[in-house]
Amino acid sequence: MEKVKCKNCTKDIENEIFILNLWVCPYCNYHHYINARDRLQITVDSNSFIELGKNINSDDFLNFYDVKSYSVRLKETKLKTSLDEAVIIGEAKIEGNDVALGVMDFGFMGGSMGSVVGEKIKILSNYCIEKNIPLVIFCASGGARMQEGVISLMQMAKTVSSVNRVKESKIPYITIITNPTSGGVSASFATVADIIIAEPDALFCFAGPRVVKQTIKKNLPPDFGTSERNLKNGQVDMIVNRNELRSTLTNMLKLFKE
């Protein structure tokens, strides 16, 4: 039997139990990384997801080269993750309720937001306005994608403008903060939602702990940036366990329906 080690309590978990428990440690309830495809599977009604914006691909328009070129990084990441980009968007049903759904994946270049993520959030926003269905986005991101320079910074404005039109159309907008959500994504579409739900233990901040520690030259409290601290500070509406997210979302969607 294959086993995985919990990143938090370091106990061995049988792989099968780990997956049945939705990648959550059965001993300490630590919520581990879950990829976008698995997230879709555990969130939406079976066979209800129709993907949108599949034809949009990132471009190395700056010829960005650090120790590797951006185009090579993209190719490698696509192979490794079998994803096209850091977000999947589409229409789906959750317990029969129609939603426009976006799911980010931290595994794709740290869930970083470049032109494609920005454009997909815009397409998804337009789609939910057109269909008049709620907008739900699972966030997971290290921030803006540096390889796209200032254009990635502009995606913050682009996504905020897109979801602002959703809000103006009086369509409910819900984000789910998953581990980690920081930088350009946390300071844009993630935090302007009507309802912000966080998974337990998720790091949710603008500047990451390393940068903050460097600046203030002091040790940070152990709960820096966690969902729990954010709840205490009034930055999220609630913390919901992964196995209860589907029912919480369903309930919320029903409340917004007249």
Partner 1 sequence: MDLKKLEEIPKSYLKEILGALSKLEKLKKIPFFTGIHFKDAERDLAQKIESYKKVERDAKRVWKIVELSRNENRPQCLDYINGIFEDFVKLSGDRLTGEDRSIVAGLGKINGKTVAVIGHNKGKDIKQRLEYNFGMSIPQGYRKSQRIMRLADRFGFPIVTLIDTPGAYPALEAEDDGQASAIAKSILLMFEVKVPIIAILIGEGGSGGALALAVGNEVAMLENSTYSVISPEGCAAILWKNPSGTKLAARELRLTSRDMLRLKVIDRVIPEPIGGAQNAPGRMVKIVKKYIIGALERFASIPGEELKSRRARKFESMGFFSTK
Tell me which residues touch partner 1 (CB under 8 A): 55-59, 61-62, 64-67, 114-116, 118-119, 122, 144, 146, 148-158, 160-162, 164-165, 182-184, 186-192, 204-207, 211-212, 214-216, 218, 220-221, 224-225, 229, 233-235
At its nearest, how many Å lie between partner 1 and the CB of residue 187?
4
Return the CA Rg of the chain.
Answer: 18
- Please, what is the minimum distance in Å from the beta carbon of residue 5 to partner 1? 27
- Residue whose CB is less far from partner 1, 97 or 152: 152
Cβ(134)–Cβ(171) under 8 Å? yes
Q: Least distance (Å) from partner 1 to the CB of residue 247?
A: 27
If the CB atoms of residues 89 and 94 are measured against partner 1, the closer one turns out to be 89
Contact 88, 51 (CB under 8 A): yes
Report which of 242, 203, 244, 241 is spatially closest to residue 223, judged by C-alpha positions.
Answer: 203
Decide whether 32 or 145 has the Cβ nearer to partner 1.
Answer: 145
Look at the block and give the residue holding tokens 């990132």.
58
Euclidean distance between CA atoms 145 and 181, whole angstroms: 14
In the 8-state DSSP scheme, what is residue 97? E
The burial of 185, by beta-carbon neighbours within 10 Å (0-12 exposed, 13-18 middle, 19 or more buried), is given as buried
Least distance in Å: CB of 143 to partner 1?
A: 8
Closest to partner 1 by CB, 185 vs 249, is 185
* C-beta of 44 vs 121, nearer to partner 1: 121
Residue 222 in contact with residue 182, Cβ under 8 Å? no
Q: How far is the CB of 15 from partner 1 (least distance, A)?
A: 33
